[in-house]
Amino acid sequence: MTDRKRIPVAVLGATGSVGQRFVELLLGHPWFELRAVAASDRSAGRAYREAARWLQAAPLSPEIGGLPVRPCEPGAVGDCPLVFSALDSSVAGEVEKAFAAAGRVVVSNSKNHRMDPDVPLVVPEVNPDHVELVRAQPGPGAILTNPNCSTIGLVLALKPLADAFGIESVNVVTMQALSGAGIPGVPSLSALDNVIPFIAGEEEKIENETRKILGRLDGARIAPADVTVSAACNRVSVIDGHLECVSVKLRKKASAGDLESAWRDFSAEPQARKLPSAPAAPIVFLREDDAPQPRLHRDLGGGMAASVGRLRPCPLLDWKFVTLSHNTIRGAAGGSLLLAELAVARGLLK
């Protein structure tokens, strides 16, 4: 795809934490060209550099910084056929439906439509065929969804095991970074020297989304996977990177070497198609006793790889391990970009 054929895109909710990640990752993207940024009414009409409190490490380019922030309305973002949504769930549902009804393809990072029967919930290395579900959606546009940030790291680690051995049950305890709460996020006096053992709705998302993602495409519906998932979620004082302690019960017996080989050998459609945002290795297995760690390993594969380590027998189930993924890159904006690339590669968006 040449620069002249790059697809014009807009970002909704562009001033927030995930919206800024979208903007950062779209700069210089070979397939997509950022043409419009949109946000709330209080930001609309201002230059993006003024409306957004830029928090990313990469500097904001003058060109993007000078873009006017537009209202989150289909008629306000020009002729962009592809829209990335980083909107808050309090407004995302109706806004995304309006864009789809106006003929736009919406790739959403919000929770609102993830469990809709005709909306694909996709991690491109795990269930790429589920994107075909958009063909069952009525109307001229479509909605595709990126899962919850913690769900993504979990299912990436589970997929090779599910394919090779089958999975009967999963127990997961998450330690989730502060950036997952957005801007302004968790108050400092609540976050420092503390662990908060509650994130509203998070446990239910992980339990339900995992079954949908690992499920089977059956015509115009998803048959959920026959796996029991129990999740407990905690907010911890880490900036980026969600760490998850996972125990699994497999349907077939497997050794530690079998599991390690399944993770090390894992590759999928995004790698075969060489999609721009796909990491060369979607899973990185680490043998160190104290790995993975957020500070050391969240940026593997440009923030798009999940790292797995601390594999050992589980006295309750079969095996337990730790997995880590970058929550605002793989778990949000980067995962959504990869999903859009997959949709383009499969001919669902031109």
Element (H, E) at 294: helix 294-297
Per-residue confidence (pLDDT) for residue 262, from 0 to 100: 99
Domain ranges of the chain: 3-147+333-345, 149-326
The SS3 assignment for 84 reads strand
Averages of pLDDT over each 10 residues, the chain, 350 residues = 78 97 97 98 96 93 97 97 98 98 98 98 99 94 98 99 99 98 91 97 99 96 98 98 99 99 99 99 99 99 99 99 99 99 92
Comparing C-alpha atoms, which of 211, 205, 235, 111 is closest to residue 158?
A: 211
Contact 120, 155 (CB under 8 A): no
Q: Is 319 helix (H, G, I), strand (E, B) or coil?
A: strand
Query: 86 — phi, psi (to 5°)?
Result: -115, 30
Q: What is the pLDDT of residue 349?
A: 82
Q: Is residue 333 exposed (0-12), middle (13-18) or buried (19+ Cβ within 10 Å)? A: buried
| DSSP count for the chain of H helices, then E strands | 11, 14
User: CATH number of 3-147+333-345: 1.10.3720.10, 3.40.50.720, 3.60.20.10, 3.40.190.290?
Assistant: 3.40.50.720
**Phi and psi (nearest 5°) for 336?**
-70, -40
Amino acid at 160: P
Residues designated as active site: 149, 242
Spell out the residues 6+ positions from residue 293 whose beta carbon is closer than 8 angstroms to its own.
243, 324
Peptide bond into 292 cis (omega under 30): yes
234 to each of 128, 160, 260, 344, how far by Cα in Å? Answer: 29, 26, 27, 36
Pick among 1.10.3720.10, 3.40.50.2300, 3.40.50.300, 3.30.360.10: CATH of 149-326: 3.30.360.10
**Is the Cβ–Cβ distance between 182 and 222 less than 8 Å?**
no
User: Residue 183: its pLDDT value, please?
Assistant: 82
Q: Tokens 């993504």 belong to which residue? A: 152
Tokens of 35: 């043409």
Question: Could you give the C-alpha distances from 170 to 13, 257, 326, 348, in angstroms and in order?
Answer: 34, 20, 21, 33
